[in-house]
Structure 1
Amino acid sequence: MESENIIKKIQEEINKTGFPLELRVSKLLKNRRYFVNHSAYYIDEDEGKSREIDILSHLNRIFRDKKTNQDIYVRNVLVIECKKSDNKPWVFLESGVDEYDDQDLEELFVWNFENTKPFGLISTNYIKEVHPFKGYDYRARNFFEAFKGSETGETIFKALTAAVKASLYYGKDKTKDDICIYYPMVIFDGRMFQAILDDADKTNVSEINSVLFTFKYKSLNYERTFTIPILRENYVEEFLEKLEQSLEVATKQAEMIRNRFSDFE
């Protein structure tokens, strides 16, 4: 009887953490043919310490280089922090997309390819047209965790910084002739709300499944602007479907440019 009580208490403690969420997200990714690495380590350059990101995952698309007869991989790399909160909703303060948002895909995530030619010629305009980021009319500018007694957003901030630092760390690991697109993101098991100021200066609050946060991160060793998707668990698969469409376009662009460039070499 005592043993059963301990097991029940341990189960309850586990369910309070984000680990079950991490396992569910991992299962979803594997079902969609992603490669998944749990608890991947990266170096935090601000503190000079090894830290852990919940999930490092990637999905490959491949085309053949006509000149070398080699396969070239184009991949989405997802750098994911998983968070859970049963009674502390996440609230995001948003405003409309402005001229500083979406100026270039490099402002949204980390590109990685060893040679700027010819892949540097890839048109981001084609990718943007099918990219899930295009479907958002607002960007989150600030955040807090509701009902904590103060407007604290420490958990959210730590999740964002971990995803960014890990993306930049792995983005340095260049693989010859492969193209990697890194996406820092946060997946949340809990309720999320957006707060938007309307034309009458009234704050409208509504529940949401996802948000894009403009993260202008600056520290001693980092200075970069990211647009980071923060997704509730129930929206992850729909978001991935759209993200994979943009990967298909990027792959077609890369194949066309690589093989046209080869004709002139």
Structure 2
Amino acid sequence: MSDTHPEHSIHDKVASWLQSEGYPLEFKTASRFGEAGFRVSQGEYSRNSKGTSPREIDVKASLTRVKDEFLFRAVNVIECKYSVNKPWVNFVSRNHHIAHSACAAQSIGNDYGSAMIWSMCGSSLIRSMDLFKSPDEPCFGGRQAFSSGKDQFFDAVRAVSGSAVNIAEENNRPYESKDGLPTACVLVFPIIVVQGKLFEAGLNESGTDTFVREVVKTRVHWRGSEDRSQFTTLDIVNFDYIDEFATNRLQECSQLLEIMEGKHPEFVDFAGSGNPNTVSLSGGSTGLAGPPPLMRKIVKKYLE
């Protein structure tokens, strides 16, 4: 008996360590997104063109369509956080609400993906998707409750946002152009999955007191990214809600790729003629100054 006790002890310690570090959460999250219908991977790394250290990605869940050698892809980049004993408190405010069209237009994407969503951001189909909705009271920051020192909220938001931007950038580099367009049209959506309770906190309507309410998910419009000047929109989701979230996300990503594929011929005509009027614009506030870089690049090529 004394011979087996140490083995059981180290087994229990390893199991406890795995749980405390959140690794089971990564496996379970990958499994749920895979069951929903995404192609999933774990432990990948993203790299940017600046040569900084690569970022590890907990889970990546992608959906892809291919048409005439063009690739249309929606990528969900997921950071997993085990925080059972320390709930996350997400700070919300009506002052951080933005137009749904701006939420869409400022999505993270590669050159073609950014141009594509910019052109469609005001359409009713795009604005009706949860992917691109701005809540009445979006989250702008947060903290892990009952903790001091290291800010887990900030670290997680920064990491997943940076990875999303890196993936978008990576999808610019490997693809050659065809018909004057990049052959990849990619949008990237950052997500944080928390195993533990989520709360929203803010000021009540009268402005006299703060409120705290428990939620299953919250949407963040973040302006702290070192990689981009626009809003970075991401979702923070309680793991208990992940099945419903993943199912809904698959339906919307599938619909989005179908819409992008249908819009693609307009961009082929634009790239072939240099006439931006071949791309119909849906209108709506974008929060951006002028058209995206790919469209300016195509026009400039024909003016030279």
Change (3 A) 1:218 1:80: closer
Q: What whole-Å deviation, never above 9, does each CA across 1:17-38 have from its counterpart, x for those lacking one?
A: 1110000011112212222221
One-letter amino acid of the structure 2 residue matched with residue 215 of structure 1? W
1:155, distance to aligned residue in structure 2 (A): 1.0
Equivalent residues in 2 for 1:63-102 (5 A)? 64=67, 70=68, 72-96=70-94, 98=96, 100=98, 102=100
1:112, distance to aligned residue in structure 2 (A): 2.4
Return the structure number with greater helix share: 2
Taking the aligned partners of 1:75 and 1:262, their CA distance within structure 2 comes to 18
Residue 58 (structure 1) aligns with? 62
Equivalent residues in 2 for 1:1-150 (5 A)? 1-43=5-47, 48-62=52-66, 64=67, 70=68, 72-96=70-94, 98=96, 100=98, 102=100, 103-107=102-106, 109-114=107-112, 121-125=119-123, 126-134=125-133, 136-148=135-147, 150=148
Taking the aligned partners of 1:96 and 1:71, their CA distance within structure 2 comes to 44
- Of stretches 135-144 and 161-170 in structure 1, the one that deviates more from structure 2 is 135-144
Change (3 A) 1:6 1:193: same
Total equivalences in the alignment: 255
- Determine if the alignment matches structure 1 residue 228 to structure 2 residue 225: no
Q: Percent identity?
A: 22
Change (3 A) 1:218 1:36: closer
Out of 180, 195, 201, the residue aligned to residue 195 of structure 1 is: 201
Instruction: Please give the secondary structure, in 2, of the residue aligned with 1:217.
Output: coil
Out of 185, 189, 199, the residue aligned to residue 191 of structure 2 is: 185
Structure 2, gaps ≥5 residues long: 176-181, 273-304
Residue 251 (structure 2) aligns with? 245
Taking the aligned partners of 2:120 and 2:133, their CA distance within structure 1 comes to 18
Change (3 A) 1:168 1:206: same
1:18 and 1:82 in contact (8 A); partners too: yes
One-letter amino acid of the structure 2 residue matched with residue 185 of structure 1? I
Return the structure number with greater strand share: 1
RMSD of aligned alpha carbons = 2.9
Taking the aligned partners of 2:212 and 2:11, their CA distance within structure 1 comes to 40
1:144 and 1:153 in contact (8 A); partners too: no
One-letter amino acid of the structure 1 residue matched with residue 41 of structure 2? N
One-letter amino acid of the structure 2 residue matched with residue 256 of structure 1? G
Taking the aligned partners of 2:112 and 2:122, their CA distance within structure 1 comes to 18
- Determine if the alignment matches structure 1 residue 254 to structure 2 residue 260: yes
Structure 1, gaps ≥5 residues long: 65-69
Q: What whole-Å deviation, never above 9, does each CA across 1:174-221 have from its counterpart, x for those lacking one?
A: 3443321101111111111111311232212111111111210243x5
1:95, distance to aligned residue in structure 2 (A): 1.2
TM-score w.r.t. the length of structure 1 is 0.83
Larger Rg: 2
1:91 and 1:192 in contact (8 A); partners too: yes
1:60, distance to aligned residue in structure 2 (A): 2.0
1:127 and 1:249 in contact (8 A); partners too: no
- Of stretches 38-47 and 223-232 in structure 1, the one that deviates more from structure 2 is 38-47
1:250, distance to aligned residue in structure 2 (A): 2.5
